[in-house]
Amino acid sequence: MTKLIQLSDEELVSLYQYGNDKAFDVLLNRHKKRLYSYILFIVKNDERAEDLFQETFIKAIMTIKQGRYTETGKFASWILCIAHNQIIDSFRQGKTESNVFSNEDDERDWLNDTNLTDTTIEDQIIANQIQEDIRTLINYLPANQQQMIHLRYYNDLSFREIAEITGISINTALGRTRYAILNLRRLVEEKHLILTID
């Protein structure tokens, strides 16, 4: 298993195609946190997110096992694209509930990792408050801009990958992200927040 962990996604997919089930376990473990967080971000419901997460990996398994997986880039983008399509299908079928979006349980650090620097408890408290403020501000953005922020900054995807996953052009992805950032800046000014640590 240790040796499998060192392999690339594409090598693991290839091994899985030839019957090595442990290779897919490594792929699942490598991508599950990012994938689940993306799904939950969109559907805003834990139970539905879990269902869609399972459906996404079942579809991926079937595609790979049937020999229909083609290496066109990164596995991570491919699996996120499947998840995106599953979410759209779910919305079309009316299976999702509309809940208020909340980032409260998200442990991602929007700013620099303060564990890598010499910080005081006060610095950490301030950094935590900044992260909380950013999460709150994101809730004020239109859904498509929230999605761009999440894909670009939470999932660290390129604009090309975002375009492929969401089915929009690169220019649209760039535009939505730009407007999201401009709107966040405006919200910061309106709410008189200070998002920097001196």
Inter-residue contact 148 to 173 (CB < 8 Å): yes
| 117 pLDDT higher than 50 | no
Q: Are residue 44 and residue 119 in the same domain, yes or no?
A: no
What six digits make up the tokens of 9?
């996604």
pLDDT digits (tens, 9 = 90+) for 157-174: 888 888 888 889 888 888
Find where tokens 């398994």 sit.
61
Is 98 within the bounds of a domain?
Answer: no
Binned at pLDDT 50, 70 and 90, residue 127 comes out as: low
Q: Are residue 88 and residue 119 in the same domain, yes or no?
A: no
Q: Which of 147, 164, 197, 186 is nearest to 44 (CA)?
A: 147
Which CATH number does the domain housing residue 181 bear?
Answer: 1.10.10.10
Outline where DSSP puts E strands in the chain.
none
The last residue of a domain, from among 62, 92, 122: 92
CA distances from 181 to 9, 59, 127, 192 (A): 32, 34, 19, 16
Res 99: pLDDT: 42
Binned at pLDDT 50, 70 and 90, residue 102 comes out as: very low
Per the prediction, the chain carries an average pLDDT of 77
CB atoms within 10 A of CB 173: 25
Q: How many structural domains compose the chain?
A: 2
pLDDT digits (tens, 9 = 90+) for 30-62: 989 988 988 888 888 888 888 888 888 888 888
Average pLDDT for 64-81? 81
Inter-residue contact 51 to 3 (CB < 8 Å): no
Q: Are residue 83 and residue 130 in the same domain, yes or no?
A: no
Q: What range does the domain containing 180 cover?
A: 114-190
Quote the percentage of the chain above a pLDDT of 90.
1
Res 192: pLDDT: 65
Which CATH number does the domain housing residue 56 bear?
Answer: 1.10.1740.10
Least confident of 13-22, 168-177, 184-193: 184-193
Residue count of the chain, please give it.
Answer: 198
